[in-house]
Chains A and B, each alone.
Chain A
Amino acid sequence: MKTFLLPDLGEGLTDSEIVAWKVAEGDTVELNQPLADIETAKAVVELPSPYEGVIAKLHAGEGETVDVGAPLIDFDLGDDDGAAPAAGMTAAGMTDAAATTDAVATTDAPGPVGEEPDVVSAPASAPETNVAAQAEAVAADDKPEKISVLVGSVTVHGGKPTRSKRTWDVEPFERAALEHTQRRGPNRAMPPVRKLAKDRGIDLQSVRPSGADGLVTRADVEGAGTASAASAASALAAPASTREKVTGLRKHTAAAMTKSALTVPHAATFHQVDVTETLALAKSGDASFLALASRAILLAAKRWPEVTASFHADTNELERFAHVNLGIAVSTDRGLVVASVDQAETMDAAQLTAQIKDRAVRAREGKLSMEELTSSNITISNVGVFGVDGGIPILNPGESAIIALGAIRKLPWNHQGEIVLRDVCTVTVSFDHRVLDGREAAGFLADIAAVLERPALALAR
């Protein structure tokens, strides 16, 4: 039996998706016979069989994402050469082997070279000296990024290739002076030293570096550990930070918001609105305040149709929609979703109340269809439920406006020439400045406000 592990099919990929299997368990396959179509971040590629034999097990189904290095297929080769995974298939194996060989080589020849006095002696019995830290390796804190080039890839640190500083001909006291003037930015350390600090719960930034070029050495971290053993112990008990994998809706939201915030020039406008009459209407009738506010938005959208348009930057086109599909932002246990009430402009307030409630309930149950989650062309977000007056919402990708309703507060207000307590709500419109200018956005917001202040106006619109 041989287990085939998914290789890196691009350059530096971490996973791939199984698009389709071309074989089934029990099939006999030849060497290099196509087994599956696999989609990487770069292309859909065909996987040729690495062995001649029988497919004993397929470890993943179609549509599933498999990590590089994870078991993909078990092969029955018809011989009994053990069940070990195919060796040499993963980069990890290579690294281990290299590290081991090096360590052996080290104990063999640890002494100085030649008779040059300034050669650094590196006895294996005292490996904790700073010798390693003085080596000219680069240990930037920023995460290396792999960039594809013509026929390979290059690893860059912080956007540009890094190069170690020339330090070999600098005298120690000069070096100290240089350190003082050149040191800027966060403390740096070799990866194993960073790991040591992390394992011990020591903040690298709190350690005084003693290595060449301002590097934090292993000894520095160990020294810091002794000096603040108590705090280190408590740090171990409660680490300064933890990390967890972001998945599902949170991951999706993160991607959507990043895309929207980075690709759309956002602008926003605010208006404090006296909603006393609308609130009274909501309390007396079948329609919720949110539904009535939605009606106000829909009436305003009729006058400013661009607010539901969609800007396509790739083709420089503005897409206008026949209907207003009103997206309702719903906060659920799993994260934020925007559920659409399609053709909302055809509904009265009672219908809207029912539809909004329906979307909220089903959103929390996770029962919304993909269509309902993606069809909106303008969004309303009732952030007031969290007790705040507003904020600048990020647009739902593809939309040109999002309206945030703040908390309704009793505020002293100029009402018909007198100061009285009124129900006041801040309404925010965040908009895509490629589609709308301030004039349109302000006009749209003023129209919403006018109806909320005097709901009777709706009769006239």
Chain B
Amino acid sequence: MSITVPAPDPALAAGLDCPLTVLDLDGTRLPNELLDPHLTDIDEHALTNLYVDMVRVRRLDVEAFALTRQGHLVLWPPLLGQEAAQVGPARALGEKDWVFGSYREHGFALLRGADMGEFSRIWKAYAHSGWDPQEIRMAPSQIIIGAQSLHGVGYAMAAKMDGADEVALTAFGDGATSEGDVNEALVWAASFQAPVVFLCQNNQYAISEPVGLQSGVPLALRPTGFGIPSMRVDGNDVLAMHAAARIAIDRARTGGGPTFIEAVTYRRGPHTTTDDPKRYRDEAEVEAWTAKDPIERVERALARCGANMEAVRAEAKIRADQLAKEFRAACEHAEPPTADEIFDNVYAQPSRRLERQRLEHRAFVSSIEAKA
């Protein structure tokens, strides 16, 4: 097989000069040739749903952050500011499609239907994967930077071979685009025209390293070098993200191959609960991005539509508070795994050697108990 890799091609990328936007900061609807045809069915009701989703995602994130400080969770990578970049694409996916995300994809997890009790176990360090990946069609949180892009492409290639009507969306950050894994994934996706969507949430920092140090060109230009079309989208605009994801997913589903979406957004919180972002960025920068808040923007848009914002906010708050309460209760009541369970998930099938080790371990534990 011969593989042709074209040079970076700005013609393959949309939004290089200015990220694609359909909702202005003040909530006005901006016309956009590329995205508009994919938003014709979005009415006030649909926008309200996206709004409530974002409020719930944020509430979950804020509650989990507090729970970490209170000793209930071991660690939490917050997504504050990235709600639209996750909710827009998550709501564009079909039920059978798959998500392969990083460790910050709480919005996807919530909207794919992860059980909060199971979800909390990941961040209590009680479980490697809180949810059943097959059940909600979302792979476990990937800690290795960018590795999930290969998993996503692999799944998509298999789906194509099987003739299955499934699309894989792999979500990662700006830092992951500097990793070999993501570049390899782009090569394979392009060569096999895999039905995959690369969602890069460019939140401006790879932990403490600003994106400008990683790339002199917009990240959306990189995939064009692999022959993959891309879109650079305002990641704080839930409608633009929704439309871009719809374009990419449709293309994948109809045999058009992979698409890369760069969601230009901002991580307003620390990298994780053990990070101190004050050491590497200015408060003014955070404030500037807070002014571009994805949720407030939709509130303004809904108000312009004439929605009863008081009722919408009240409804969103009730549902968000309920979610937070449910998550807190799950965290407080989660039971730690027993050491014996270590042996359960090493192999799919039990092996004699492992069973022997399990017994040796039990004997060892009982020898301590007996002597104590």
Contacts and interface: CB of A to CB of B under 8 A. Distances in A.
- From A105, A127, A129, name the one whose CB has the most chain B CB atoms within 10 angstroms: A127
A42 interface: yes
Contacts of B360: 120, 122, 131-132, 134-135
A11 B364 contact: no
A129 B364 CA distance: 9
A42 B71 contact: no
Contacts of B371: 127-128, 192, 196, 218
Contacts of A7: 69-72
Contact of B77 (A9, A50, A137, A151): A151
Contacts of A129: 363
B276 interface: yes
A94 B121 CA distance: 13
A43 B276 contact: yes
A102 B336 contact: no
A98 B338 contact: yes
Given A119-B352, A120-B360, A107 B366 contact: yes
B276 A42 contact: yes
Interface residues of A, dominant DSSP: loop
Contacts of A89: 71-72
Interface string A400-421: 0000000000000000000000
Interface string A1-27: 000111111110000000000000000
Interface string B61-85: 0110010011110110100000000
A206 B370 CA distance: 25
B70 A44 contact: no
A99 B366 contact: no
A79 to B, nearest CB: 16
B70 A110 contact: no
Chain B interface residue bracket vs A? 35 or more
Contact of B69 (A5, A47, A105): A47
Interface in B15-59: none
Given A88-B332, A124-B363, A98 B69 contact: no
Contacts of B356: 113, 119-120
Contact of B363 (A101, A132, A192): A132
A16 to B, nearest CB: 11
A84 interface: no
A412 B355 CA distance: 81
Interface in B345-372: 352-353, 355-357, 359-371
B103 interface: yes
Contact of A152 (B63, B143, B353, B368): B143
Contact of A110 (B207, B275, B338, B363): B363
Contacts of B75: 11, 151-152
Interface string B237-271: 00000000000000000000000000000000011
A94 B334 CA distance: 11
A148 B271 CA distance: 13
Interface in B98-137: 103
A400 B207 CA distance: 38
A127 B363 contact: yes
B113 to A, nearest CB: 24
A296 to B, nearest CB: 47
Contacts of B340: 101-102, 105
Contact of A128 (B66, B271, B353, B367): B367
A47 B271 CA distance: 18
A226 to B, nearest CB: 15
Contacts of A98: 336-339
B177 to A, nearest CB: 15
B290 interface: no
A164 to B, nearest CB: 10
B339 A99 contact: yes
Contact of B103 (A50, A132, A151): A151
Contact of A127 (B275, B357, B370): B370
Contacts of A10: 274
A124 B364 CA distance: 10
Contacts of B353: 168
Given A113-B356, A116-B352, A124 B366 contact: yes
B92 interface: no
A2 B370 CA distance: 35
Contacts of B338: 98, 101-102, 105
Residue picked from B70, B335, B361, most chain A C-beta under 10 Å? B70
B145 to A, nearest CB: 7
A230 to B, nearest CB: 23
Given A113-B355, A113-B356, A196-B371, A190 B364 contact: yes
A98 B363 CA distance: 15
A4 B332 CA distance: 13
A9 B273 CA distance: 8
A55 to B, nearest CB: 15
A98 to B, nearest CB: 5
A105 B338 CA distance: 10
Contacts of B336: 94, 97-98
A67 interface: no
B339 A120 contact: no
A48 B367 contact: no
A47 to B, nearest CB: 6
B221 to A, nearest CB: 26
Interface centre among A88, A129, A192 (most CB of B within 10 A): A88
B105 to A, nearest CB: 13
A114 interface: yes
B272 interface: yes
Contacts of B278: 43
Contacts of A151: 75, 77, 103, 143, 271-272
Interface string A119-144: 11010100111011111110000000
Contacts of B145: 150
A93 to B, nearest CB: 8
A135 B357 contact: yes
A46 interface: yes
Contacts of A47: 69-70
A234 interface: no
Contacts of B362: 102, 105-106, 109-110, 122
Contacts of A4: 70
A236 interface: no
Contacts of B71: 5-8, 50, 89-90
A114 B350 CA distance: 12
A11 B69 contact: no
B339 A148 contact: no
A112 interface: yes
Nearest to B144: A150
Interface of B: 62-63, 66, 69-72, 74-75, 77, 103, 143, 145, 207, 270-276, 278, 332, 335-340, 352-353, 355-357, 359-371
11 contacts: A7-B69, A7-B70, A8-B74, A50-B72, A88-B332, A99-B339, A103-B366, A113-B356, A135-B364, A148-B274, A151-B77
Q: Which 5 A-B pairs have the closest CB atoms?
A: A7-B71, A132-B364, A43-B276, A122-B363, A127-B367
Given A135-B357, A192-B371, 10 more contacts: A5-B71, A8-B74, A32-B63, A45-B69, A45-B273, A48-B66, A94-B336, A112-B359, A114-B355, A120-B359
